[in-house]
Amino acid sequence: MSEIPATLKYSNSHEWIQLSDDIATIGITDHAQALLGDIVFIELPEVGEHISEDGECGVVESVKAASDLFAPIGGEVVEVNENLGDAPEQVNETPYEAWILKIKIDNASDIDNLLDATQYQAVVDAE
């Protein structure tokens, strides 16, 4: 059983989002990392880049496959987790601590489109 913390928001494409004012911290869920298997490279976006909702914002490459990372919410990239360059396995080990990027949210109302833990659990169960 994968872990789905109640305090976070989620997307259909298996990203988690932690909201703090207008900043969204984004990573991939426990369920996603388990599906991917060992993660070996993470391609991060540039700081300052603007990403629209559902736009590509990186690539997570595992022993099994390369998988695009989609922005669950539109905005400007304000920070990326450079530590993952040398230690991408952190995403496997602690998926909810190993954040990937932070976005300054364009429209606060977009938050309403995100899933809560119960809704995301239903997405996982349906797979």
State in angstroms the smallest separation of the CB of 28 from other proteins: 16
Contact between 116 and other proteins per CB under 8 A: no
Q: Where are the alpha helices (DSSP H) in the chain?
A: 30-36, 90-93, 117-125
Binders of other proteins among 54-113, rule CB under 8 A? Answer: 59, 61, 63, 65-66, 89, 92
Contact between 41 and other proteins per CB under 8 A: yes
Instruction: Report strand pairing: 23-28 vs 75-80.
Output: unpaired
CA distances from 13 to 10, 69, 85 (A): 8, 8, 22
Binding site for other proteins (CB under 8 A): 37-38, 40-41, 43, 59, 61, 63, 65-66, 89, 92
